[in-house]
Structure 1
């Protein structure tokens, strides 16, 4: 008997429908020489044993079609394998965590050239991923509006909530993790707070020209979506372009891992319903929980190992944490898989 794999099929479901016993899925795998019984393709033809059909099987004759009908399949989409996992945790577990962008000059020659064009010296920030950011005077009581007007020394660092920062400023972009900066003692002052303080200053200003200048600055603050960070920003809260790119890639892989987890739990739930037993979903939950918990621990160990080698910030720190998460998660999954197999073998 020829059987054409349909969307949502698994060997266990096919065996239950054809033989009346899902546990006989191994016979199908052996008869069809399936190297990976979890990787079925929609439209794939399986050979089933006619003589072993059970009298209590649930017949679905429309799925048992001729070889000629197979050629009319519109698509042959690969199913996600039931045992495919991507246990990677980027150093920032939440891809939606807020970032602010600060553009600065890290090259002294470029700073000198740009300063010559502007007619004033420009500050250079060597390797912010290693040294972080410091304002000109963290103890200053200068208000936000005065900082926007260019007064120094200031306790503030100018940033932008635009994805790539305020492009009217020269310099390389660096991303500041808001939560990490706040945890280190910094405070955040939003665009509207800056504009409000500028309006306060304008009301006290007698000069018409000065008020016009303040109005122009307010418009630029809104256009740049400027936000001020008050206080020091530690290096661990700062990422350059390479580190940020590595983080985003790994977060994408992480999301794929979450999706695969959801698929596997869905299949386990389906199997539990068909068997009338909680064992399949309980077993899969053990595997997934073990894998992700070990991935988290592995990520921390990977980051710690990188720090011991002097890789505390930058793309190297992101990659070392990701490798730890991948190794730890994979080991954790297969370790807990051995336990889960005692409930329900996958």
Structure 2
């Protein structure tokens, strides 16, 4: 049984603002996404900025309400949960945000930040204090760090605090929304190693959202590639480098910087063109205006995400 599953999930924004020409603009951030995440698995979610990755993460963690579709967690339909049921779900699904600084209350000391979710769910004070020390040790911080404010830490240390807070209630699933993108390369590797160790130690499941394919390749078991609100390819992480079939996935791989002394310190092949307006996605395949393999059918018929091999799905007419 899947731990988490989305079925035809949709999230549209706007539709009320009037723009030039009198048209009403609606942003199709997530536009019919279906995927699943197994217990103990890391699913990487990749794509360019603005493709809907973070919105999908907030929908799946029930921080936002979907426009349409269904969300299942541990076999239960959680799409319309409110009140006590939604509050109880917060213990089982946590989220780590990209900006390690703004996601922490700068007026609170770290100990109080880590105690807050424990107090909200009724843990007595003595146990909270002990749990805070356990959490700090788990993420590689010292007991005295509980008495400091977030601004006294480096970016990597602040992200460790965010990870500790996500672990506080012993969740089943953590949504990692670009958790290392703002960190230096060496610090990024340390945080990725920590996430990997915590997964094994506590049997966690991750939805790991990133535009960095190297990080996804290191941490994920499977990868879902997202473009303009749709999933265009799902495959194992082993198949990502050698068996990616969708032209967009291949373009993302080609855009990864690689050392090349002939062309400069690092060279990458940029994806052609700019992403289309998410308020007015192209007819047919949404990637066709930028696709090097475009044909007439791509401009008029939207491809369906279909199985091409065990564990491998692609939304392309010509794979």
TM over 0.5: no
Q: TM-score range by the shorter chain?
A: under 0.3
Structure with the higher strand share, 1 or 2: 2
Q: Larger radius of gyration, structure 1 or 2?
A: 1
